[in-house]
Structure 1
């Protein structure tokens, strides 16, 4: 599988951030192709990009001639093609738990705060910025309350969401915490989430994937 990898990404996209983490955990070299989600109404809406990804979303991973969308599906593809180090644990029960934690974040929290939703509130419903931000915080806090309960004191929770090595769930957790901090969510009620985030951010792979280190990040992003 020596075909080149090319990731269409935006520095602050949570979904693209997940895939960057997975690529770096696998030690895979890839070309980062920035897609600015705001400039000129959003480069993801251009005809050229729609030809690549009809959804007009990031991330998009190109492996040779294959084009792949949807962050969780991309991460599972990476795990199947490059099994080491694994992003999914060895047993069916452990894999189910990791997928459930990842889905809580990627399917239940993140879509409600996605740029498309916020733009619709702003342009179609004229919802003011303070109310939009209240919406964001409400759904992050609702999701984090459940996530904290699922992680805290669970026998499978280790340094990371599942055991002692980062998995698919951690690839999702860190970007969502980044987004929470961006919108001023009080993280005090979520000590287990904060502890796992710290363990992840101590690893070079998570550091390399961080938004501020991406080629399209503005100079003042840090």
Structure 2
């Protein structure tokens, strides 16, 4: 039996409801829970000019101390994706979880130095696959802006849907940008999970 959203924790991502292992690694990345030792780096990312304003669920912390206190108290689920050598490159946060209706919001923040490498998308794909295999969530939302959406436009209607658009919502890179709400549906994602897992070399992986 799959877990309710309120029962989900990082440790639960190791195994699916059917008992087969859920993926924890991909071609370039490994997923793990955020550790307090990660906080200074994540604080730097949160306050980087290319990231500020893109965190739809909170304002960047004005100091490392406040950031660390937020992380300690925040019920948001926090993960980092690391390279095989352990270097963190992507920060994933699952927030605004609604257990009754089975949806949540996902924030993906990549190391600004890895821009346009696709690592953020790879980390999100690995995490979404884990999440849909091990919990009862049926839908994951995320915010994106027009300058970022162009990087993965080919996935529209293949892997996710655009469900809302707020025109000229935020001032970024010298002009006002549109904000998009995108959604990934559980059933649609899991139909493609095998293809995604093979392309990104998810491990461990067994076909369902």
Please give the TM-score of this superposition, normalised by the length of structure 2. 0.34
Greater fraction of residues in helix: 1
Bigger proportion of residues as strand: 2
